[in-house]
Amino acid sequence: MQLNVLILSPGYPADMPEFTRGLAECGARVFGVGDQPVSALPELVKRSLTEYVQVRSLWDSSQVIADVHSRLKGHRLDRIECLWEPGIMLAAQLRKHFGVAGLTIDQAHRFRDKEAMKLALDEAGIRTPRHIAVDSSAGAWEAAETIGFPIILKPIAGAGSADTYRVESADDLRAVLPRLRHVSTVSVEEFVDGEEYTFDTITIDGNIAYYNVAWYRPRPLIARSNEWISPQVIALRDVNDPALADGIRMGFDVIKALEFGSGFTHMEWYRKADGEVVFGEIGARPPGAHQVDQMKYACDFDVFRAWGSAICNGSLDANIERKYNVATIYKRAQGIGRISRIEGIDELQRRFGEHVVWNTLLPPGTPRRDWLNTLVSDGFIMLRHPDLDETLAMADAVGTELQMYAE
């Protein structure tokens, strides 16, 4: 039976068109819902959709439900999918309205609300950072006293490292609190000092069919606090490394505890110097910053179609062989204005060209991006190699020898 699948925001962010294609290629009739006009949709999306419902705003849930109900009257919906963090709750509300299986409103809430998420995992016996949710400056001061410095302040709903601060002292807290006035509820957490990794899955009916582990170099909080750093994300080939075993085991336990059914998840976790693993957070969606493409290049398979097959057919429809470590090195130009020159790229291409799979560096003449508001910065180099040490050496060379300038 051909499935009717509704996908929220098929044209944005950047890899949503590929996920839309993945559904269509697996035989689904794909209905898109978004606030972009049809003319603004990427051609790949237009080719993949059976029908598109344009709404005035994706953030007016009652109006979205009414518009979809009206436009798709007479069509049976079998799945409702969203792979973009801000739309997770809307997707759950649509499922409730149309009686479609998938994450319920309560389950989706545990993925969106970091405090509810950690409370559920605490109850399941999973190690989380000590945490307290607060909605006032006074509450933040009380939580800091209870937990003890250093602490992390972050929104209970959000993605990435935006509005996230490490606070070392009372003076730091006094300086940071005004920056969070626009955030209604903040999670005050124990700062966990350690290496940071991901655990990314494609899951089918609660069973993990594929997973990826990536290593952040350095951890995102440090990278987002220092403009001079060229952040790296390394998709690791050897997921059987004993050093990763406890984190992977925790990832399986988290999926079970949060009752995730079918789809993509992106979890972050820490490994401390003493070997203890600590949960970070999880989203009911894929990672951003083209980390899904890393998975593609690590195993030479179509991740987007595999996800589509998981949703439509209950199987990956892919033979997965972990062939490579894949490093993405995000570059930030020095200076303000337009990219004026890129140094070191020709020599690095000569040395490592056969291992480079993607180069998105902004060309000279392009306005520099605001590094605080984009994970991909002024472009990236993605490269791969079967040997981890070789991969890291190449990534570090790109990080230090390739320089971009703006003026």
Gap between the Cα atoms of 327 and 106, Å rounded: 36
CA–CA dist 8, 16 (Å, integer): 9
pLDDT of residue 273: 96
> d(Cα 163, Cα 161) in Å, to the nearest integer?
6
Helix (H, G, I), strand (E, B) or coil at 264: strand
Q: Give the Cα separation of 375 and 96 in Å (integer).
A: 33
Asked if residue 17 lies in contact with residue 32, where contact means CB atoms within 8 angstroms, the answer is: no
Cβ pair 48, 7 in contact under 8 A? no
Can you tell me whether residue 207 is helix, strand or coil?
strand
Beta carbons of 254 and 340 less than 8 angstroms apart: no
Question: What pLDDT, on the 0 to 100 scale, is given for residue 407?
Answer: 96
pLDDT in the model for residue 5: 98
Q: Among 40-49, 352-361, 372-381, where is mean pLDDT lowest? A: 372-381
Q: With beta carbons less than 8 A apart as the criterion, state whether 295 and 214 touch.
A: no
Query: Residue 101: what pLDDT?
Result: 95
User: What are the tokens at 373?
Assistant: 């508001």
What gap in Å lies between CA 152 and CA 194, rounded to an integer? 14
Q: Across all residues in the chain, what is the average pLDDT?
A: 96
AA identity, residue 255 = I
Tokens of 19: 């996920």
Give the residue among 354, 330, 340 at the shortest CA–CA distance from 402: 330
- Model confidence at 156, pLDDT cuts 50, 70, 90, reads confident
pLDDT at position 62 over 90: yes
pTM over 0.75: yes
- C-alpha distances in Å from residue 275, one per residue of 194, 244, 245, 247, 270: 9, 10, 11, 10, 9
Domains of the chain, with CATH numbers? 4-102 (3.40.50.20), 130-190 (3.30.1490.20), 213-238+283-406 (3.30.470.20)
pLDDT, tens digit (0-9, with 9 covering 90-100), for 84-140? 999 999 999 999 999 999 999 999 999 999 899 999 999 999 999 999 999 999 999
Q: What is the DSSP string of 222-249?
A: HHTT-TT---EEEE-S-TT-GGGHHHHH
Rounded Cα–Cα distance for residues 355 and 308 (Å):
29
pLDDT of residue 78: 98
Average pLDDT over residues 279-301: 97
- Do the Cβ atoms of 151 and 190 come closer than 8 Å? yes
Mean pLDDT to the nearest integer, 362-369: 97
pLDDT digits (tens, 9 = 90+) for 30-46: 999 999 999 999 999 99
